[in-house]
Amino acid sequence: MCNSEYTYLKGYAHGKGYEDLKRALVLARELHEGQYRKASKGEEKLPYITHPIRVASHLMSLGVDDEKTLITAIMHDTYEDCDITLEGLKEQGIPVGAVVAINLVSYIGGKGNAKALEAHYKEMVSNPRAVLVKLSDRCHNMSTMMGAFSNEKVLKYVEETEIYIIPMAKKAKDIHPQYSNQIVAMRHELEAICELAKGLLRNEVKSVFFISDDQADSIYRADLLEDGDMMQYLVKNVGDMQTKSYQYPISRKEWEKRVKNETYTVIG
């Protein structure tokens, strides 16, 4: 588990007087005990609790500090993936507002059921907590899926994001203007990751270099244009859509040296 982030969230909750959030952190860790995230071949699987912690941390980095929203983020997979009911969550002290949002975020319908998915996201859009958590959840899942999932599953994930989640975000921006900046930021992140994933699946992107960092909340893309042992490269910060490009040829060794010395961080 990412102990530093877990400890930070507990300290944040204590400082804000968020007793329900402190309770949710402990409960989520207990419910997800023994569960692990899928990992790329050769990589160590992380305890599943790292995922909801990252979802909550991402929202906090965007300025979301509503306690029930952060509780929804921490608990968002418990109803769907753990042995607990919505009523059980209430009995464990999870606030009703968060339980309502957890229910909306959770998808219990059949896989591949287009009508059920459409209804699921249509219902979700009216609840700002559910919208924010679903967008942050999808940002984290998509930024870590390459290598962990089959190409077919990645493509289905991209299609669902483009067909349902991005349009939902566009509607939610107007319905919940108090969170429009956060919604737009995560929508842009999802759009960029979808394009990257499709490029990888089409083999249009020759290489993607990931610079690991536990505190990372952005994903960076490197397109390589090779010319013998020389190359040009373009690095895009997908998180805030700023672009930093290098249009002069350098050797592979020099390229790697420069990238390692950049302050860029990537979830991966």
Residues 214-239: tens digit of each pLDDT: 333 333 333 333 333 333 333 333 33
The better pLDDT of the pair 214, 108 is held by 108
> CA 146 to CA 134: how far, in whole Å?
19
The better pLDDT of the pair 231, 90 is held by 90
Catalytic pick among 65, 81, 159, 214: 81
Distances from the Cα of 96 to the Cα of 55, 58, 244, angstroms: 20, 23, 45
Is there a catalytic annotation at residue 5?
no
Share of the chain above pLDDT 70, in %: 73
The better pLDDT of the pair 237, 98 is held by 98
Confidence (pLDDT) at 44: 81
Over its C-alpha atoms, the chain yields an Rg (Å, rounded) of 19
Q: Is 60 exceeded by the pLDDT of residue 208?
A: no
Mean pLDDT of the chain: 79
β-pair partners for 251 = 230
Catalytic pick among 80, 91, 226, 262: 80
- The CATH 1.10.3210.10 portion of the chain extends over 3-201
Q: Is 70 exceeded by the pLDDT of residue 189?
A: yes
Is there a catalytic annotation at residue 213?
no
Angle at CA 90, nearest 5°, toward 74 and 59? 20
Confirm or reject CATH 1.10.3210.10 for domain 3-201, answering yes or no. yes
Q: Is 80 exceeded by the pLDDT of residue 253?
A: no
Work out the number of other CB atoms within 10 angstroms of the CB of residue 171: 15
